[in-house]
């Protein structure tokens, strides 16, 4: 990625197209969501934003799975 800046990549691609992030979620597995990064490092801040988005998506998927598992037992 010599011709494009990392800031542009995060802003123009990853934050605008969440499907890319969800497909390559392993890129952000090691980003801690419980600590806000230093505001001077824009790349770390963007990584943190993306990690928060992934965390919310994973939580929503888990809740949906739990609801689907509970529905058949509620019908009896």
- Convert the pLDDT of each residue in 8-59 to its tens digit: 888 888 888 888 888 888 988 888 888 888 878 888 998 998 999 898 988 9
CA 64, chain centre distance (Å)? 17
Give CA separation, 46 vs 16, 64, 66, in Å: 12, 27, 30
Torsion sign, CA atoms 68, 26, 44, 34: positive
Helix, coil or strand: residue 10 = helix
pLDDT in tens, 45-70: 989 989 998 989 889 999 999 998 88
The C-alpha angle 36, 64, 69, rounded to 5 degrees, equals 135
Q: Give start and end residues of each alpha helix (H) in the chain.
A: 6-8, 18-23, 42-74
Q: What is the pTM of this model?
A: 0.71
């Amino acid at each position: 990625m010599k011709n494009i800046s990392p800031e542009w990549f995060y802003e123009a691609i990853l934050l605008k197209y969440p499907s890319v992030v969800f497909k390559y979620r392993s890129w952000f597995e090691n980003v801690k969501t419980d600590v806000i990064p230093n505001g001077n490092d824009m790349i770390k801040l963007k990584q943190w934003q993306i990690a928060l988005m992934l965390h919310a998506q994973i939580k929503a998927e888990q809740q949906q799975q739990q609801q689907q598992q509970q529905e058949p037992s509620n019908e009896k």
